Amino acid sequence: MPLPVWNEFNAGTMVRGALWLMQVVGEGNTFTKEQLREAFPGVSQVDRRIRDLRDYGWVLYTNSDDATLMAEDQRFVKAGVPVWDSAARRAAAPQKAISSKEKQAAMARDDYMCSVCGISGGEAYVDDSNQTAVLSVTRRETVLPNGQERTLLITECKRCRAGSDRLPARADETVADIRALDPSDQRRLLRWIERGRRGSTPLDRAWNAYRRLPADARDEVRTALES
């Protein structure tokens, strides 16, 4: 089904703003407040209506998220829920806001680090020093090992949030994968879980020792093992 045309569609500002982002700005591109005001003349607080899209999984960066942006610029990073589809919009209607107390507790529990990539809040990304991590606490649908579905809080950086497929987290599948490991690997994993970090295995150490060898010596190792 083709998208409704942004300036012909009879809908609220947030919905028309979403279509404007899709049809005029385009994912990955930047726009200014001025362009927004020109597109929606006379609409008060159009900027705020566009920001409301974040509650529907839309990712918009300002220069506090990406230092390469000018103060006037925002980047439309990624579209979220197709809010012009009223059924999809209703299904995704923002739930009660997460209280600041809940956010604080979740961040403290996650050691003020992104649960996905491990970066700390305010830290620059290794591959892009123009961007520093902004952490937020979001809800994540989660299937527990007993099959029950729960909505749980997770600390994520904006980049991981933008890259997420928003599929439910599957603790049940994780348990099944772990149970399928050799008993010795299961015991090792349990030790890592108790310590809260991964240890190196004899296999890791052997691989690293092999990788550090001069190339000709690596060939010799390979020949020795294959004979």
Residues interacting with Zn ion, by CB under 5 A?
114, 116-117, 157, 160
Q: Which is nearer to Zn ion, 46 or 153 (CB)?
A: 153
Report, in Å, the least distance between residue 131 CB and Zn ion.
11
Report, in Å, the least distance between residue 163 CB and Zn ion.
8
Report, in Å, the least distance between residue 5 CB and Zn ion.
36
Q: Which is nearer to Zn ion, 15 or 160 (CB)?
A: 160
Q: Which is nearer to Zn ion, 24 or 169 (CB)?
A: 169
Starting from the edge strand earliest in sequence, which strands make up the sheet with 135-143, in order? Answer: 149-157, 135-143, 169-170
Radius of gyration of the chain (CA): 23
Report, in Å, the least distance between residue 160 CB and Zn ion.
3
Among candidates 221, 90, 20, which has minimal Cα distance to 4? 20
Q: Which is nearer to Zn ion, 21 or 113 (CB)?
A: 113
Q: Which is nearer to Zn ion, 137 or 160 (CB)?
A: 160
H or E segment to which residue 155 belongs: strand 149-157
Rounded Cα distance, 167 and 177, in Å? 18
Q: Which is nearer to Zn ion, 52 or 110 (CB)?
A: 110
Could you tell me what percentage of the chain is helix, strand and coil, using 3-state DSSP and rounding each to the nearest 5? 45, 20, 40
Phi, psi for 34 (deg, rounded to 5): -60, -45
Report, in Å, the least distance between residue 153 CB and Zn ion.
15
Q: Looking up tokens 């123009």, which residue turns up?
A: 130
25: left (phi > 0), else alpha (psi -120 to 50), else beta?
alpha
Report, in Å, the least distance between residue 95 CB and Zn ion.
23
Among candidates 84, 156, 148, 87, which has minimal Cα distance to 118? 156
